[in-house]
Structure 1
């Protein structure tokens, strides 16, 4: 079924939707591939339903583009990816346990092992296992401590039903509160050297995801697992690599479902920011049930008929209000743009993230399934370049 609003008139009945530029994902992937070269594998991280873009569709696009493997967290995403990519490796990040062994077998999944207790729980089922060992280099999340890595590898290799296909880490995103990237990788380097000298180094060693891929080309190693970068969501504004990327989430829109002008018979305007006597109020068919935050920044606005209309609180489950006093031609059924363009004006993803008190990834992954996804034509704008020369 075609999800384009131009070729599928039923979408004109929707009161709210998001538009996904699927071509951006393929373009972003090719930019990453060109940057890292052909000898480093790309494990496309499609967690959170491919950052809200639809894991199945994204997996199909990336398979056609030549991706090497996928990384996911949930079984739901694993099912969607496996259907779209019957033969590609799928790495399960920490999150599932031995109760999922049937699906692990049927979907041919590679599991993550983060410690001896983790391994013991999987060994208790007696099934053949393909694993990646995860190391915590200072993220203070899932993964074995570097000091225990060699012992965990010993335990893994002592069991004939366990095949260690890789070893990986996710570098800290704790900023100044955590260790630097160089310090974190230095904790792993001697262990890699020791395993290599013993002939026990797994075929795939991976530490770089989106941010480190941009800033530390020296740590590409055997593979990288970008996620946010594939969807144009990475936070970096500087880096050693320049990548022309654009956001896959290209628009969030809603229709005006009610209009009224304030009147004395309604009582005094609420004692809340943005209300005033005789204001013309429009109600949009979108609310926190679709993923809009309940509390927005004071600058939050939408575009109606190419002009800005402030959002006034509060936000409801399925509705939000906007002040269209200065847009007298606004009418029922009009399209209001929360993200995207209307005429010469545009609300960008960074601007929306600031108004929503989050970051770009928080916007994309915070939208709920009730906000319908449709395929959008690519936007003819210059892609943002992440990094500096």
Structure 2
């Protein structure tokens, strides 16, 4: 609460004890803090249950050091089931009609990335894009239905640490899940599941080396992946390896997530703290 008041932030609140605590902190500083009320319209996670929100708002307005600037909710299925998303939207609109009787109407927001692009009726006063800010779609299936001109902004890189020539019938990595069928050139790349590169990408994923795709072969280990660069004869130790990103023709979050049988959100959140961050722009 101290930082919220000191920096004039507008928090999203959903518990009464949190609101009372913030109100007390604001009162001590002689300030009025703008807040947004989080309403649960069907996500089942955080928020005041939508049918209880009008009574909750009435109590909230009795705290003179807090000013209700907005009312918000979170969509559960905007990328999968737009009809349920519309039902959630109607619940939020009902709440706002109830709490606005004789009062000024607060700012409304419920749209996430999927709703920004597919549910214009959910745009209301504000929108809250998340994964779209990374230039990714909510899922590979969503991208197939709604291909958007998004520009990926995140790249995850490593380098070739070693190269070996392997004859046919050579097993690669733990468990011998990959065995060469022809003379092969295999690169060792220092990234693994301890860095957030999923083990389930073993024998599935691809990376970019010198602008060309190369398959990840054998099991992803704690600290290493093995990459078959046989088709890239000019690959050398020290070459950059792009795990995610790479521009046109690169490795997208949607593609990685489909190989890993997960969602792009998880891929984008997975890069561990051992990976050096470089922020541009």
Do the structures match in fold with TM over 0.5?
A: yes
Q: Which residue of 2 aligns with 1:208?
A: 111
Say whether residues 1:358 and 2:230 are aligned partners. Answer: no
TM normalised by structure 1 equals: 0.60
For the pair 1:289 / 2:189, whether they are aligned, the reply is no
Q: Deviations over 1:231-255 (max 9, x none)?
A: 222323346xx96321112x33321
Q: Give the superposed CA RMSD.
A: 3.2
Query: Aligned match of 1:309 in 206, 209, 214?
Result: 214
* 1:13-72 deviations in Å (ceiling 9; x for gaps): xxxxxxxxxxxxxxxxxxxxxxxxxxxxxxxxxxxxxxxxxxxxxxxxxxxxxxxxxxxx
- The count of corresponding residues between Structure 1 and Structure 2 is 270
The alpha carbon displacement at 1:121 in A equals: 4.6
Question: Structure 2 CA distance, aligned partners of 1:163 and 1:319?
Answer: 53
Q: Is the 8 A contact 1:138 1:179 kept in 2?
A: no
- Quote the offset at 1:292 in angstroms: 0.9
Going from structure 1 to structure 2, the CA distance change for 1:283 and 1:187 (only over 3 Å counts) comes to same
Given candidates 237, 252, 256, the residue that maps to 2:156 is 252
User: Out of 119, 134, 139, which is 2:43 matched to?
Assistant: 139
Change (3 A) 1:301 1:244: closer
Q: List gaps (5 residues or longer) in structure 1.
A: 1-100, 378-389
1:199 counterpart (103, 116, 130): 103
Q: CA deviation at 1:166?
A: 1.1
Asked if residue 103 in structure 1 is aligned to residue 6 in structure 2, the reply is no
CA distance in 1, matches of 2:121, 2:81: 23
Relative contact order, CA 8 A, sep 6+: which one is greater?
Answer: 1
**Contact map agreement 2:160 2:236 (CA 8 A) in 1:** yes
Alignment of 1:1-389 (within 5 A): 101-123=1-23, 127=28, 128=31, 129-173=33-77, 180-202=84-106, 204-235=107-138, 236-237=142-143, 238=145, 244-249=149-154, 251-262=155-166, 271-276=175-180, 279-296=184-201, 298-341=203-246, 346-374=250-278
Deviation of 1:149 (Å): 0.6
Check conservation: 1:131, 1:165, Cα contact below 8 A: yes
Judging changes above 3 Å, is the alpha-carbon distance between structure 1 residues 228 and 289 closer, same or farther for their aligned structure 2 residues? same
- Following superposition, the deviation at residue 222 of structure 1 comes to 1.6
* Structure 1 residue 163, shift from structure 2 partner: 1.5
1:145-188 residue CA offsets vs partner (Å, 9 max, x unmatched): 11111111111111212211111111113877897112112222
Q: TM-score, normalised by structure 2?
A: 0.81
